[in-house]
Amino acid sequence: METGNLLRGWTLGDGFYLRDWMVLGAEIGRWETFVSNVNRARRTPVVAAFVENIGSVTASVKNVSINRQIKDSIHEPLNGRGTITLEDVDGILITNGRSVIRRNDKVRIWTGFSHPGFRHGDLIPRFTGVVQEPTVNTATREVTLSLQDYGYLMKQAQTSGDFSDYNTPVLLINELLSRLNLGAATFENETGLPTTFEFGNTTLSRRNYWAITHGALLGIRYIFYFDGEGGLQCKRRDNSSESQEVFRDRDIKGLQHIRMAELINEKSVDLGTAAPVTWSATVGDSLRWGQATYTKHNKASQALYGVSADYEAEELLASWDNILPFGRDSVKWAKYPRQVYELRCAGHPYLEIMDKVRIDSDVQNVHGQMTVIGIDEYVSGSSDSQTLTLLTHRELF
């Protein structure tokens, strides 16, 4: 951003003559602060990187690409990925044609812009994870690292058995993270549902940690992802963080509609055991004693947009107290159409998943608030570009 004011000090040579009301050096004008957007492409991008067992490789970074996202549905999300290309300028990254950096070595990447007085500029952590595969180009003496965030480690690890000591989302997820030597998750409103919601079943079949985490959060309508610092963020689906960022036509390199997000106006949840007698008098839930599957409809949405059904079975949600709110809230969250857009722009390294931004494009007649659900960025010594996947705000709760 550029800021300033409308005052100025007059000097000789400005084309004015001194009058009785004008004194040399006097400030003439109104003290009105103005703020104007600056094309971020004018700023010089900077990157810093640190690799386990090597240390800082900032001087070797040629380019970086990062992709982190969540889904526009309630189903299991993807984990973050990235690549970084390093030039072996000091001869310490390649030995006998092989990369010194190995699989599963930890990597952290910061991006930002140069700033006077700072050695590496203004830097923000954008990716933390592990090396999935190092690739060496001996001709150019470059090492390209294929990266995955810590969700990759959670997908590699599996478990099963009795987890009765970890019968809430907070206890179960933090136990899984501790087994991988990762820090505890950050929960939005941790003292609420993440702590008070109890699973109907804690004898788990064999699954990977990522799938178990997804199942643990389904019942409380939370999403999860690893942030740029490598911390697992668990947040409510119906919430977002206000970034105050506004994209106007001068800021937008490209804006296109991708698809309609998942629409759910009929949700079925299978429990596997019949509803108890106490449920036979439940009002408004279309549930009677003896049922083993609960289905929630929204007739208004179905009349407007047709039937869009979704089915779910999750072993952690193994009681009627679990699946009734899950079925109801899934339809409540996604019963009206929401749209997914892709926005191409200069780099905004401070934006994060679940940040709320505003689009004001007169050229494409697209206006409104949207939530960032995907960040795909590319950074080199001369370029910092970004593609944001955005979800429109049409949910009604």
Of the options 3.90.1520, 1.10.357, 3.55.50, 3.40.1000, the CATH number for the domain spanning 153-236? 3.55.50
pLDDT of residue 117: 60
Minimum mean pLDDT range among 13-27, 123-137, 207-221, 237-251: 13-27
Minimum mean pLDDT range among 16-20, 285-289, 364-368: 16-20
Confidence check: pLDDT of 10 > 50: no
Confidence check: pLDDT of 286 > 80: no
CATH superfamily for domain 241-261+338-392:
Bacteriophage T4, Gp27, baseplate hub, domain 3 (2.40.30.150)
Specify the DSSP class assigned to residue 369.
E
Dist CA 249 CA 166 (whole Å):
50
Query: Mean pLDDT over all residues of the chain?
Result: 83
Matching residue, tokens 């911390």: 231
What's the pLDDT band for 275 if we cut at 50, 70, 90? low
Residues in CB range of 76: below 8 A, 6 or more apart: 210, 211, 214
Q: Are 125 and 64 in contact (CB under 8 A)?
A: no
Enclosing H/E stretch for 44: none
| Arithmetic mean of pLDDT, 104-117 | 85
pLDDT of residue 42: 56
- Write out pLDDT tens, residues 152-202: 999 999 999 999 999 999 999 999 999 999 999 999 999 999 999 999 889
Q: What are phi and psi of 386, to 5 degrees?
A: -145, 140
Confidence check: pLDDT of 282 > 80: no
- Write out pLDDT tens, residues 252-264: 999 999 999 989 9
| Arithmetic mean of pLDDT, 260-270 | 86
pLDDT of residue 32: 40
Q: Which comes out higher in pLDDT, residue 277 or 195?
A: 195
Q: Which comes out higher in pLDDT, residue 42 or 190?
A: 190
Please calculate the CA angle 115-117-119 and round it to the nearest 5 degrees.
80
Give the CA diameter of the chain. 96
Q: Which comes out higher in pLDDT, residue 332 or 187?
A: 187
Confidence check: pLDDT of 150 > 60: yes
Confidence check: pLDDT of 234 > 60: yes
Task: For the full predicted model, state whether its pTM sits above 0.95.
Answer: no
Q: Are 168 and 195 in contact (CB under 8 A)?
A: yes
Matching fold, domains 45-152 and 241-261+338-392: no
* Domain locations along the chain: 1-36, 45-152, 153-236, 241-261+338-392, 266-334
List the structure tokens of 277.
């007698």
Give, in order, the Cα–Cα distances in Å from 265 to each of 235, 297, 298, 304: 23, 6, 5, 10
- Helices 209-218 + 169-179 axis angle, to 10: 170
Of the options 1.10.10, 3.40.50, 3.10.20, 2.40.10, the CATH number for the domain spanning 45-152? 2.40.10
Confidence check: pLDDT of 13 > 50: no
Minimum mean pLDDT range among 13-17, 86-90, 308-312, 381-385: 13-17
Beta strand pairing status for 309-312 and 266-270? parallel
Minimum mean pLDDT range among 28-32, 318-322, 337-341: 28-32
What's the pLDDT band for 333 if we cut at 50, 70, 90? confident
Q: Which comes out higher in pLDDT, residue 320 or 101?
A: 101
| Arithmetic mean of pLDDT, 317-337 | 81
